[in-house]
Amino acid sequence: ESTLKQTLKQKIEAFRPRTQKLNKEFGEVVIDKVNIGQAIGGARDVRCLVTDISYLDPQEGIRFRGKTIPETFAALPKVPGKEQPFVEGFFYFLLTGEIPTMDQTQEIVADWKARSAVPQYVFDVLRAMPRDSHPMTMFSTAILAMQRESKFAKKYATGTMKKNDMWEPMYEDSMDILARLPVIGAYIYRMKYKGDTIIPADPKLDWGGNFAHMMGIPNPYDDVARMYFILHSDHESGNVSAHTTHLVASALSDAYYSLSAGINGLAGPLHGLANQEVLGWIKQTMKKLNNTLPSKEQLKQFLWDTLNSGQVIPGYGHAVLRKTDPRYVAQNEFSKKHLPNDPLFQLVNMIYEVAPGVLTEHGKTKNPWPNVDAHSGVIQVHYGVVEEDFYTVLFGIGRALGVLANITWDRGLGYAIERPKSVTTDMLEKWAHEG
């Protein structure tokens, strides 16, 4: 048994009594109340989910297991000769809350390699799809198609699996899926955009490095991939992809069903697809000006045109955050170092100078600051991934790390099937009149 699995087992067993005690002895303690606006308005700010893997503070942004983004990157073992950490070590940290040693990290590198063979029928399914299907449809379909491999589903079907043991096959499925996602993602990319020229994996490389290799993008894209996957991994539990994955898994659907569902949510333009939308918006803007950079005045006008036509400014605003997203800041710092003269990077910085003012004047959004998606596309373009339809797949590979860690813990702590109560509009009107 790997160090990761042994450590996880100890952690889950040590943690479980806390959750059980809270549930049994303090189940009636009120932590929130719900108003009509929240029932209609997407349950915004209602505290009704639990996760210990990450926490999103509206002002500070995300912390993974208590660490800020810079602290996380500084603490994790780095890939030798590279700037960025192993994604494998980051997953160990997400699952256990402990920073792994280099040896523990290398164990996962080897483990994921051993699990990385994607069944041929998954590629056959992808090849049977129309080539112009959206890459997110392909990605979600590939994950779902692989469901026949589920160890959780097989174990459940034996009728012998105890509730406290369910985390184990959930963990095994999660590890199998994670090992294969870069292969699937790169396959979709090469099949769709690079004349169907598939590049096989290089067994010498780590997970992030191998993804860059299979994409056919030269280094330092490997470090971009590692950074990108870590930054996009987790954003506490209420975002659409994490919440969907958790919800589906709460019915004891396995990790394949659950992740595929979460990926479908990520494909929405108000969620992960915003990174594709941002680049589309930037391209449109540049096209209007014959590929020259706009002046601030022109940019202001384009932003107003977008708002006046009823669209949102993609990459700006957030349901929880009320400041610039630290994931945006991390990408901005990377870009200042590696692509300072890139014209699209300059445009992103210019949008940052203008858009918050325009959005504030527009007066609707509660948060005029940029989120992660406002920045990610320009880095991809710089290194040669110019097909913006693909960007949400990159987000999805990263997001899988967080949501799969979460559903493994969900089973470890025995969380119940999720089933909030609905009410009717008549009831709301009655309560509204009663005050």
Q: Which residues bind ligand MLT (CB under 6 A)?
A: 235, 239, 271, 319-320, 371-372
Neighbours of 295 (CB within 10 A): 11
Residues in Cβ contact with 295 at an 8 Å cutoff, skipping those fewer than 6 apart: none
| Conformational region of residue 415, where left means phi above 0, alpha means psi within -120 to 50, and beta covers everything else | beta
Q: Binding of ligand NMX at residue 314 (CB under 6 A)? A: yes
Q: Kindly state the smallest distance separating residue 410's Cβ from ligand MLT, in Å.
A: 17
- Closer residue to ligand MLT in complex, CB, 255/273: 273
Q: Kindly state the smallest distance separating residue 24's Cβ from ligand NMX, in Å.
A: 35
61-64 and 54-57 beta bridge pairing: antiparallel
Catalytic positions are 271, 318, 373
Q: Binding of ligand NMX at residue 313 (CB under 6 A)? A: yes
> 188 touches which of ligand MLT, ligand NMX, none (CB within 5 to 8 A by kind)?
none
| Contact in structure between 409 and 94 (CB atoms under 8 Å) | no
Helix, strand or coil for residue 70?
helix
CA distance 398 to 207: 11
Q: Binding of ligand NMX at residue 169 (CB under 6 A)? A: no
Residues in Cβ contact with 111 at an 8 Å cutoff, skipping those fewer than 6 apart: 2, 4, 175, 179
Size of the site for ligand NMX (CB under 6 A): 20
Name the phi and psi angles at 398, rounded to 5.
Answer: -65, -45
Q: Kindly state the smallest distance separating residue 268's Cβ from ligand NMX, in Å.
A: 8
Q: Binding of ligand NMX at residue 365 (CB under 6 A)? A: yes
Q: Binding of ligand NMX at residue 318 (CB under 6 A)? A: yes
Segment interacting with ligand NMX, rule: CB under 6 A, options 112-120, 143-151, 264-272, 417-425? 264-272
**Cis omega (within 30 of 0) for bond into 169:** no
CA contacts within 13 A on the Cβ side of 386? 6
Q: Kindly state the smallest distance separating residue 295's Cβ from ligand MLT, in Å.
A: 30
- Closer residue to ligand MLT in complex, CB, 328/415: 328
Question: What is the SS3 assignment for 361-397?
Answer: HHCCCCCCCECCHHHHHHHHHHHCCCCHHHHHHHHHH
Q: Which amino acid is at 136?
A: M
Q: Kindly state the smallest distance separating residue 358's Cβ from ligand NMX, in Å.
A: 9
Among 67, 226, 271, 399, binds ligand NMX (CB under 6 A): 271
Q: Binding of ligand NMX at residue 270 (CB under 6 A)? A: yes
> 430 touches which of ligand NMX, ligand MLT, none (CB within 5 to 8 A by kind)?
none
- Closer residue to ligand NMX in complex, CB, 99/240: 240
Which of 274, 216, 210 has its CA nearest to residue 240? 274
> 367 touches which of ligand MLT, ligand NMX, none (CB within 5 to 8 A by kind)?
ligand NMX
Q: Binding of ligand NMX at residue 373 (CB under 6 A)? A: yes
| Contact in structure between 173 and 146 (CB atoms under 8 Å) | no
Return residues touching ligand NMX (CB under 6 A): 270-272, 274, 307, 312-319, 364-367, 371-373
